[in-house]
Amino acid sequence: MALTFFRGVQTRPLLSYPSIYFALRKHNVSYCNMQNTQLETTERQEGQLKGSTREIHSKPHDKLLKDFEAVIGIETHVQLSTQTKAFCSCPYNYGAAPNTSICPVCMGLPGALPVLNSKVIEAAVKVGLALNCSLSLDSKFDRKQYFYPDLPKGYQISQFDVPIASSGSLDVDLPVEYGGGHRRFGITRVHMEEDAGKLLHTGSGNYSQVDLNRAGVPLLEIVSEPDMRTGIEAAEYAAEIQRLVRYLDVSNGNMQEGSLRCDVNISVRPTGQQEFGTKVEIKNLNSFSSVSRAIDYEISRQVDLHTQGLADQIVQETRLWEEGSQKTITMRKKEGLADYRYFPEPDLPGVTLSEEYINSIGSSLPELPETKRRRYENMGLSMQDVLFLANDITVAKFFDATIAGGADVKLAANWIMGDIAAYMKNAKVSISDIKLSSEELCELIASIKGGTISGKMGKEILFELMAKGGTVKGLIKDKDLVQIVDPVEIEKIVDKVLADNPKQLEQYRGGKTKLQGFFAGQVMKESKGKANPKLLNQILLQKLNATS
Amino acid sequence: MLSSPRLLRHHLPPLQCCFTTAPTQPPSSQILTIKKALLSGETTSVDLTSAFLRRLRRTEPHLKSFLYTPSDQTILQQAQELDNRIQNNEPLGPLAGVVVAVKDNICTCDMPSTAGSRLLENYRPPFDATAVRKLKEKGAIIVGKTNMDEFGMGSTTEGSAFQVTANPWDLSRVPGGSSGGSAAAVSARQCVVSLGSDTGGSVRQPASFCGVVGLKPTYGRVSRYGLVAYASSLDVIGCFGSSVADTGILFHAISGHDKFDATSSKRDVPDPTSQFIANDYLVSKPLKGLRVGVIRETLQDGVDPAVVSSVNSATSHLEDLGCVISEVSLPSFALGLPAYYILASSESSSNLSRYDGVRYGKQLFADELNSLYRNFRANGFGSEVKRRILMGTYALSAGYYDAYYKRAQQVRTIVQKSFRDALDRNDILISPAAPSVAYEIGEKKDDPLAMYAGDIMTVNVNLAGLPALVLPCGFANGGSSGLPVGCQMIGGAFDEEKLLKIGHIFEQTLEGYNFVPPLVADEVGC
């Protein structure tokens, strides 16, 4: 999709800048295209309020897994949603026309110099604190050097030996349908760096093009300890990182747009063995479910090789996850360790943090997913409910506001997870898009609990509130929905119905008591649905059974 | 040793020919003289600029200082606009009407900026360097881009991909480098002042070879934004002038904090103009009590005796002015040279990675990416640049980093400390600017080690990030009328003001020398 879109713009964006496309007869670099491979759409992923990991099915053969243990670590790149890039004042908008958001600095023109955007530090400190890391009061930037056409300076500004944050942890609650359980995974480090541009390969042409819009966009790289053992654990870890950055409002965490990218390192060893097996890296994981499925596939592949005595065929390499065939394939074998010739970035001064700065950021952090989940748990909600409500920050905020308004916790949870979630899924909107406010949900719940309207009426106006807005009180009035709770009034209706149906009454009294339902329906109809069902039944029975 | 010093009582104002009467106040600044003459209506910017252009066009075929000059018409149009402003009594900038040349590694959006490299032939940046923007804002007229060793790597201009600049004192000799074009242009009065850049001595050594004043400011004093990077932690834009005052005024105009350079200092830069008082007003011992440390290691074996003798005379002159002279030792001095070449090469290997054939230079076709890079870089870079990229790549490689890069950084720390200690005990330090006078063209071309050794006097100052002023102090035999020798004064960080004050008094009171080269001596005031 993206490819078609970009085709035919080879000379367009260059203005007075030097030529930015380059010629290659064959590209040996086509893996960059994989970002464009069609996978699950964003909307679908967003629309399913449930974390996508909840829908993962595949499982490697369990019997073999007993004998082997997988060791999994994840490197996550989080694209920060700062207004401007890391080292210049260009904005970044995903999907903008190629090379429309570039300047001498992010193009790496001779003489241009980087100046750090302080919002990058702020985001790094937030994430570092949220991941329980120790922060380095004195860190620095380094240059990571390699040649690639999407890297205009020939080096990436990154952090090497002194990352801004290190030695942290992340708490994760596994999905109930996978047995549940709480896990704590170690975080090795968090560091700041800049993104590279993108290569656009012409379908049939003999050249490739470079789009530098993304060059210089700030990233945080979060490296986990090799603490995960299954695809589900890894996918949940990644989902928790996404939740965390969304709670902190430092990134949109969108995997489809590449705002959250996961590279997985995985090895397999016989259970009980201390040393790690040979590590394989998997790239091109564009959803949590592909993280889980790719890992399960890779575990099976490696375990199979082990059991066949072919463990030596597991080599250190980078493999690509192919969504189509649901397999990992070799992308490139590592020829020894790449030498990036890191050295301190001389164009940028060191990054110094004061205790005051860190404390001020620390005290302004929002409630984090883990804390929220524990709070919900203590409120008496089931783990299923807890995970659902805390999964999406906007849903959690809505829920929190609703109960802050005095609504019953369980009722509020049920409404949100039931009818509201169903509506959002159907209409493909998020909770911030619907017209219903938390105040009105509160009012609705109170109106039902107080008996002003029936649950059925409540449902009816809920949809109207979500689609069109308005107030509960207003709708009850407009639709004349106030429940009839006056026994005298109900009695009148019952009398009328009994009088109108003498034949059925005779049958009932002759022993055909099933007809009670018929009468209840008629009374409800006569009351235009407003009769309080409990009172209705009470009075109806009285009248039916009255032998007069 | 000294070759026939011309017995002239004072510096002949180089612009004398342009004026009906020789200006007397202030005595030694072309910039201040120009401003006065323009404001008084004594001359016009068009006349003044035309005089420079005539001299430039006459001397340029011999010198080849410039890689690019706009048409006379383009330049004179700016002068005309300035004259109109004067007519309308509009305010004038501090560099109004001053003809300036700019080293070709400093970006100008209206002129090519090649850094002396084939790879950037015809490259026009879409922006002005901060220093250039300031020049323009302050009314300077830029006459062109000067020749240099490719990316600043070299000491002769022979490393330019395009041409070799000749030394105005002897056309068979080099002007020094890498800012050789800028030094030669000021020396031959093709312009009033010029910008250069100094990573390991690239302003100071050519200033010495060409007999002009050169200032290497403190690292961070002048924005590097728009300076094509060679070694980012050492690079600084510097100034050339035919007097200390002109050099200081130019320095003040381009320095100060710049939000586009994260390494630029936020300190205020005091205006040095009030320091440039006329000779007549000087008291008898104007530098009384000033402590001057002569760096012992710079006047030992391997240094040209004529250079030693000139610097010793300069020391005596300072003593006459009231300075207290002592000898200081910088034991780490000799370590600076190898440390410099490791650090500068390492940084340059990284800074030059961007010239990969994707964006600059001739588009090449290749079957695969690595051969695109290989062909482009092999054909595009000159041999000295390739040598330094290779050295730097090696020094940063896994397994060698600790032995080279890290070690060199440790040496740098030691060098910084030894300068700090010496400057705690002295106001300034002095040394030669170079161990010899200008070389013959071709003399060092095939001997890179000998060429590197020529940087011994200057590289330590870059490692320490300190300011240094080079000013002509004598002559050695050579050419038709001697070859100039420069004396280097090194000051504490951000203390350019002190250097300029001392340099100005030194220059005003140095009798018996005229540093106008024979090429233009007839025209400029003799």
| Chain segment B241-298, per-residue pLDDT in tens | 999 999 999 999 999 999 999 999 999 999 988 888 877 777 788 999 999 999 999 9
Contact A343 B350 (CB under 8 A): yes
In the sheet where B428-432 sits, what is the strand order?
Answer: B66-68, B141-146, B99-103, B193-197, B237-241, B213-216, B468-476, B483-490, B428-432, B291-295, B324-328
Residue A253 CB-half CA count within 13 A? 19
Among partner residues B232, B346, B368, which is closest to A347 by beta-carbon distance? Answer: B232
* Residue boundaries of the structural domains of chain A: 2-40+53-353, 365-478, 487-545
pLDDT of residue B284: 82
Cα torsion through B179, B181, B183, B189, rounded to 10: -160
Give me the mean pLDDT over the B470-480 stretch.
Answer: 94
Tokens of B425: 């005990």
Annotation marks residue B309 as catalytic: no
User: Is the model's pLDDT at B50 over the cut of 50?
Assistant: yes
Question: Is CATH 1.10.10.410 correct for A487-545?
Answer: yes
- Quick check: helix, strand or coil at residue A46? helix
Separation in Å, CA of A72 to nearest CA in chain B: 27
Contact B259 A115 (CB under 8 A): yes
Which of A102, A340, A347, A348 to mutate to probe the B interface, most B CBs <10 Å? A347
Separation in Å, CA of A144 to nearest CA in chain B: 9
Residues of chain B neighbouring A24 (CB-CB closer than 8 A): 365-369, 372
Please choose, from the candidates B482, B471, B467, the residue with its C-alpha nearest in 3D space to the C-alpha of residue B509: B471
Q: How many CB atoms sit inside 10 A of residue A103's CB? A: 17
Tens digit of each residue's pLDDT (9 = 90 or more) over B426-457: 999 999 999 999 999 999 888 888 888 899 99
pLDDT of residue A37: 30
pLDDT tens-place values along chain A, 548 residues long: 333 233 223 333 333 344 444 554 443 333 233 333 333 333 333 333 344 444 444 455 565 667 899 999 999 999 999 999 999 999 998 989 999 999 999 999 999 999 999 999 999 999 999 999 999 999 999 999 999 999 999 999 999 999 999 999 999 999 999 889 999 999 999 999 999 999 988 777 778 889 999 999 999 999 999 999 999 999 999 999 999 999 999 999 999 999 999 999 999 999 989 999 999 999 989 999 999 999 999 999 999 999 999 989 999 999 999 999 999 999 888 656 679 999 999 999 999 999 999 999 999 999 999 999 999 999 999 999 999 999 999 999 999 999 999 999 999 999 999 999 999 999 999 999 999 999 999 999 998 888 788 788 888 889 989 989 889 888 888 877 778 888 888 889 999 998 899 898 889 888 888 888 899 999 988 888 888 888 888 899 888 887 65
A546 reaches B (C-beta below 8 A): no
Which residues in chain A (5-44) have CB-CB distances under 8 A to chain B?
A: 15-20, 22-29
Contact A111 B226 (CB under 8 A): yes
Tens digit of each residue's pLDDT (9 = 90 or more) over B51-80: 999 999 999 999 999 999 999 999 999 999
Which of B130, B354, B367 to mutate to probe the A interface, most A CBs <10 Å? B354
Pairwise CA distance, residues B232 & B352, whole Å: 11
- Quick check: helix, strand or coil at residue B263? coil
Separation in Å, CA of B225 to nearest CA in chain A: 6
Length of chain A: 548
Among partner residues A22, A23, A110, which is closest to B125 by beta-carbon distance? Answer: A110
Residue B295's domain comprises: 16-277+285-335+409-520
| pLDDT > 90: percent of chain B | 84
Contact A349 B115 (CB under 8 A): no
Angle, CA of B424, B426 and B431, to the nearest 5°: 120
Widest pairwise Cα distance in chain B: 75
A338 reaches B (C-beta below 8 A): no
Q: How many CB atoms sit inside 10 A of residue B207's CB? A: 38
Annotation marks residue B480 as catalytic: no
Give me the mean pLDDT over the B122-135 stretch.
Answer: 97
**Contact between B35 and B88 (Cβ < 8 Å):** no
**Contact between B214 and B204 (Cβ < 8 Å):** yes
A309 reaches B (C-beta below 8 A): no
Residues of chain B neighbouring A337 (CB-CB closer than 8 A): 398
Which of A102, A113, A141, A143 to mutate to probe the B interface, most B CBs <10 Å? A113
Cα torsion through B6, B8, B11, B13, rounded to 10: -110
Among partner residues B120, B350, B396, which is closest to A110 by beta-carbon distance? Answer: B120
Contact B359 A349 (CB under 8 A): no
Give me the mean pLDDT over the B334-343 stretch.
Answer: 96
Please choose, from the candidates B221, B227, B225, the residue with its C-alpha nearest in 3D space to the C-alpha of residue B265: B221
pLDDT of residue A335: 59
**A337-369: burial string, b at 16+ Cβ within 10 Å, e else:** eeebbbbbbbbbeebebeeeeeeebeeeeeebb
Question: What residue of A is the nearest CA neighbor of B358?
Answer: A22
Q: How many CB atoms sit inside 10 A of residue A302's CB? A: 24
Q: Is residue B340 in a domain? A: no
The DSSP string of B29-59 is -HHHHHHHHHHHTSS-HHHHHHHHHHHHHHH
User: Is the model's pLDDT at B212 over the cut of 70?
Assistant: yes
Tens digit of each residue's pLDDT (9 = 90 or more) over B310-325: 999 999 999 999 999 9
- Strand segments (E) across A15-127: 22-23, 68-79
- Residue B504 — φ and ψ, nearest 5°? -65, -45
Contacts of A92 (CB under 8 A, 6+ apart): A84, A85, A101, A213, A214, A217
Pairwise CA distance, residues B349 & B231, whole Å: 9
The DSSP string of B87-105 is HTT----TTTT-EEEEETT
Residues of chain A neighbouring B126 (CB-CB closer than 8 A): 15-17, 104, 109
CATH number (domain holding residue B190):
3.90.1300.10
Separation in Å, CA of A18 to nearest CA in chain B: 6
- Quick check: helix, strand or coil at residue A79? strand
Which one is catalytic: B28, B117, B178, B264? B178
Separation in Å, CA of A15 to nearest CA in chain B: 10
Beta pairing class for B193-197 and B237-241:
antiparallel
Which of B356, B365, B397 to mutate to probe the A interface, most A CBs <10 Å? B356
Angle, CA of A414, A419 and A425, to the nearest 5°: 120
pLDDT of residue A81: 96
Among partner residues A24, A108, A348, which is closest to B368 by beta-carbon distance? Answer: A24
pLDDT of residue A70: 95
pLDDT of residue A51: 41
Separation in Å, CA of B395 to nearest CA in chain A: 9
Which position has the higher pLDDT, B3 or B249?
A: B249
pLDDT of residue B19: 36
Contact A155 B124 (CB under 8 A): no
Which of A341, A348, A351 to mutate to probe the B interface, most B CBs <10 Å? A341
**Contact between B115 and B351 (Cβ < 8 Å):** no
Please choose, from the candidates B102, B217, B189, B99, the residue with its C-alpha nearest in 3D space to the C-alpha of residue B514: B189
Please choose, from the candidates B452, B493, B462, B489, the residue with its C-alpha nearest in 3D space to the C-alpha of residue B473: B489
**Contact between B149 and B177 (Cβ < 8 Å):** yes
Contact A20 B359 (CB under 8 A): yes
Contact B367 A24 (CB under 8 A): yes
**Contact between A413 and A381 (Cβ < 8 Å):** yes
Please give the helix or strand (H or E) that residue A410 lies within, else none: helix A409-415
Give me the mean pLDDT over the B22-37 stretch.
Answer: 72
A484: left (phi over 0), alpha (psi -120 to 50) or beta: beta
pLDDT of residue A65: 65
Length of chain B: 526
Tens digit of each residue's pLDDT (9 = 90 or more) over B450-468: 888 899 999 999 999 999 9
User: Is the model's pLDDT at B89 over the cut of 60?
Assistant: yes
Beta pairing class for B291-295 and B428-432:
parallel
Please choose, from the candidates B152, B99, B169, B107, the residue with its C-alpha nearest in 3D space to the C-alpha of residue B132: B107
- Strand segments (E) across A303-462: 317-322, 327-333, 343-344, 351-352
Residues of chain A neighbouring B368 (CB-CB closer than 8 A): 24-26, 28
Pairwise CA distance, residues A201 & A33, whole Å: 8
pLDDT of residue A336: 61
pLDDT of residue A61: 57
- Residue B146 — φ and ψ, nearest 5°? -95, 155
Annotation marks residue B397 as catalytic: no
pLDDT of residue A39: 31
| A506 CB-contact burial (10 Å; exposed 0-12 / middle 13-18 / buried 19+) | exposed
Tens digit of each residue's pLDDT (9 = 90 or more) over B200-210: 999 999 999 99
Please choose, from the candidates B447, B470, B493, B457, the residue with its C-alpha nearest in 3D space to the C-alpha of residue B200: B457
Give me the mean pLDDT over the B140-162 stretch.
Answer: 98
Tokens of A140: 């620095």
Q: How many CB atoms sit inside 10 A of residue B273's CB? A: 17
| Mean pLDDT taken over chain B | 92
Contact B368 A28 (CB under 8 A): yes
Pairwise CA distance, residues A213 & A107, whole Å: 9
Contact A22 B358 (CB under 8 A): yes
**Contact between B434 and B486 (Cβ < 8 Å):** yes
Q: Is residue B210 in a domain? A: yes
Total count of domains within chain B = 1
Which one is catalytic: B35, B103, B138, B498? B103
Q: Report the amino acid identity of residue B166.
A: A
Give me the mean pLDDT over the B477-502 stretch.
Answer: 96
Separation in Å, CA of B150 to nearest CA in chain A: 13
- Quick check: helix, strand or coil at residue A405? coil
pLDDT band at B512 (very low <50, low <70, confident <90, very high): confident
Q: Is residue B360 in a domain? A: no
Quick one: angle between helices A533-545 and A502-509, nearest 10? 70
- Cα torsion angle, A178, A184, A185, A187, sign: positive
pLDDT of residue A3: 30
- Residue B266 — φ and ψ, nearest 5°? -90, 0
Cα torsion through B430, B433, B435, B436, rounded to 10: -130
